[in-house]
Amino acid sequence: MTAGPLSVVVEPPVIAAVAAGAAAATPGVMRLEPGIRGLVSTVLRAGRRRWKGIDPAPAEGVRVRRGETGLLVQVDIAIAAGRPAVEVGHAVQEEVARVVWEQTGQRVAEVWVTILDIEPEVR
C-alpha cells in the first residue's frame, strides 16, 4: 500500500482568526474595525457556531478569500493618533502575511489594510 501526498486545507475562518491576532498585535493598531458588513457576517457566523456549541475565534474586521496566487486578506483597523498611517498599514501587511504563513502554511498573495479610525492612545 502506497500513501499519496497529504494535503492540509485550512478554512478561511481559521485564517481570518490568525490574521486578526497578528493585526491586533501590531504596534500602532488600537483595534480591528468590523464595519457594517463585518458586523453582520460576524453575528451570523458567531450565531451558527454557538448554536453548534463551538466558541468562535475572534476575526472581526478581517475577510479572507482564496485567489489564484494565494490568499487575499482584507483587514480593517483603527490606529493610534501620532503614528504614521502608512507605516502602521505596512507593518500590518507584513505581520499578517508572516504570521499566517508561519501558523497555517498558507501563502498570502495580498493583504489590503483599510484604516477606518484614528484615535488617541490611552495613557
Percent of the chain with pLDDT over 70: 76
Report the 10 Å Cβ neighbour count for 118: 15
Confidence at residue 72, expressed as pLDDT on a 0 to 100 scale? 97
Task: Name residues of the chain where pLDDT drops below 50.
Answer: none
CB 85 within 8 A of CB 118: yes
The two beta strands, 71-80 and 108-119, are: parallel
Confidence at residue 7, expressed as pLDDT on a 0 to 100 scale? 77
Confidence at residue 57, expressed as pLDDT on a 0 to 100 scale? 61
The three three-digit cell numbers of residue 120, written as one number: 488617541
The three three-digit cell numbers of residue 23, written as one number: 493585526
